[in-house]
Structures are given as structure tokens and as C-alpha cells.
Amino acid sequence: MKSTGIVRKVDELGRIVLPIELRRTLGIDIKDSLEIAVNGQQIILQKYEPACIFCGNAKDVMTFKEKKVCPKCVAEIGK
């Protein structure tokens, strides 16, 4: 893991501010969703990318009955 040297305090509502330089570098825009994960004592924030419910592929997914499915899995289901 690479340290940025950036330190932020948590406010009274539990919020932190991600610096604009970091958001630009990671391609995080206003209103983007972030996924929160925990690895031991680490909190991991990553840009949320909806993925196929079957294979986990996040490329070219479509919505079917409120579920994300990729074209490859759609083709396999059709067989």
C-alpha cells in the first residue's frame, strides 16, 4: 500500500474530506458512489463499480430485473 502523507480528522458526524487531488487521480467525481470494505484494522474506500452477479465482470453490464448481468453470462444462460 502506498502512503500519500495526507491526514484528515473525522468530524462530529463521522465524515472525512477526500482532497481534490486524490479524487482527480482516482477518477472520483461528485455524487460517485464509494464502496467501503474492511481488511483487519484497515478501512478501504474504492469507487463502486456495479458488476455481474454471476462472474463479477464490471464491463458492459446490463440490468435485468434489477440485477447486473454481463453479456457473456447472458449468452451462457441462453444456451
pLDDT > 80? residue 1? no
Q: pLDDT tens, 9-30?
A: 999 999 999 999 999 999 999 9
Domain ranges of the chain: 1-48, 50-79
What percent of the chain lies above the pLDDT cut of 90?
A: 66
In the structure, how many helices (H) and strands (E) does the chain have?
2, 4
pTM score, whole prediction: 0.62
The answer to whether the CB of 71 falls within 8 A of the CB of 78 is no
pLDDT > 80? residue 55? yes
Give the number of residues written for the chain: 79
pLDDT > 90? residue 79? no
For the domain spanning 1-48, the CATH number is 2.10.260.10
